[in-house]
Amino acid sequence: MAMIDVARMRAETRGCQEVLHFNNAGASLPPAPVADYLYDFLRDEELRGGYETAKARHGELEHFYTATARLLGARSNEVAFVENATRAWDMVFYALPLAPGDKVLTTVAEYGSNLIAYLHRARLTRAELVVIPNDANGQIDLNALEKAIDERTRLISISHIPTGGGLVNPAEEVGRVARAHGIPYLLDACQSVGQLPLNVEELGCDFLSASGRKYLRAPRGTGFLYVRGEWIEQLDPPFLDQHAAELIDGENYSVREDARRFENWERYYAGQAALGRAVDYALDLGLEAIRDRVFDLAANLRVRLGGIPEVEVTDEGVLKCGIVTWRHARVGAEEIKRRFLANRINVSESSGSGMRLSYLARSLDSLVRSSVHYFNTEEEIDRFIGAVRLL
């Protein structure tokens, strides 16, 4: 099996010389080849003009679609560039028809923005939101999911890797349930894309949303949407422009037949091209090798944190990813983040807004989220644990 050349990865990650970066689930450090490519594209826009650069570099913009399709095991016409994972997710969710009494099934660990959208549409349409309980390991209970499905179920929608913990939900098993019952399946892969292999056929999902800035190490303001081919023309996007559709006359228009009907014309062109390069970078390394490196580092970090008496590690799940959440008995998460930042250590504070239902159920308020990537090292874990012991 291919191994990650950590020395090379760190040499190609200039930020490693500046910070100890354990905030990859927030926004990772872009590798130099991706960052330099982005700067070059933007410099072209500065010197040649934005429209002119987009035309001259059209093939590079198109490369985003083929690279992302390869990443997902999809077809390029099933991929759309969207500025972030939440907006990509919204474009599909708000396009799905819901009527009074229809049911949407989700999980306890669902992302907060998604929950707001469920509740918003439930109020508008009088549809019903059903939260499937967890099993003993904190992941979605597949038996409870099966029992909740009936003739009114219109959507199963889950976060693959929730934002506020190490949990990896059993997305493939959920996909098998969805397909067995003929129910559309929306997967939020914001934290899983770039961290582990994803294949939409194996996952069984009909829709998938993802971010560029996290484990794919692409620029901020980038993301994408996958829509299974047979669904594209069934969905009427919540808004259209002259990229997504063509005006025929004063009364008629036609909508694109590919997933780009979910895009808009004015977007982050340099970011789109750079996202394609970031996907290439991940594919060249190999997603299996990335997963193994990330999961091993995170497992080490959990063990080391668990050995500190004042620390409680709060991650759930049978399979745990590169996100490690914990709390300190004496020092709050926001204060820890502040102290670490002063020492050039980057972490996030997870207040629970991203996993409100899960945090409420577990009586959690505010946690430190430490998320590792393949360019991090065991020596950085040593330094990090030393900083935790000094709190």
Mean of all residue pLDDT scores within the chain: 96
What number does CATH give the domain 6-30+286-389? 3.90.1150.10
How sure is the predictor about 126, in pLDDT bands with cuts at 50, 70 and 90? very high
What is the structure's pLDDT at 1? Answer: 55
Among 231, 325, 223, 229, which residue's Cα sits nearest to residue 274? Answer: 223
Tell me how far the alpha carbon of residue 324 is from its chain's centroid. 16
Encode burial over 206-228: b for 16+ CB neighbours within 10 A, e otherwise. Answer: bbbbbbbbbbbbbbebbbbbbbb
Which pLDDT does position 351 carry in this prediction? 83
pLDDT digit string, tens, across residues 239-250: 999 999 999 999
Q: Where are the domains of the chain?
A: 6-30+286-389, 35-284
Domain spanning 35-284 has what CATH number?
3.40.640.10
| HSE-up of residue 271 (Cα within 13 Å, Cβ side) | 19
> What are 210-254's pLDDT values in tens digits?
999 999 999 999 999 999 999 999 999 999 999 999 999 999 999
Which is more confidently placed, 355 or 47?
Answer: 47
Cβ proximity of 76 and 317 under 8 Å: no
- Model confidence band, residue 354 (pLDDT cutoffs 50, 70, 90): confident
The pLDDT tens digits for 19-68 are 999 999 999 999 999 999 999 999 999 999 999 999 999 999 999 999 99
> Using 50, 70 and 90 to split pLDDT, how confident is the model at 352?
confident
- The reported pTM is 0.96
* Lowest model confidence (mean pLDDT) among 92-96, 303-307, 353-357: 353-357
Pairing, β 223-227 against β 185-188: unpaired
For the segment 191-207, what is each residue's pLDDT rounded down to a tens digit?
Answer: 999 999 999 999 999 99
Looking at residue 53, its pLDDT comes to: 98
Q: What is the mean pLDDT of residues 130-149?
A: 97
Task: Compute the average pLDDT of residues 322-331.
Answer: 97
362-370 mean pLDDT:
93
Structure tokens at 155: 């959507």
C-beta pairs of 92-95 under 8 Å, 24+ apart in sequence: 92/186, 92/207, 92/209, 92/225, 92/227, 92/235, 92/262, 93/117, 93/121, 93/155, 93/157, 93/186, 94/121, 94/238, 95/235, 95/236, 95/237, 95/238, 95/262
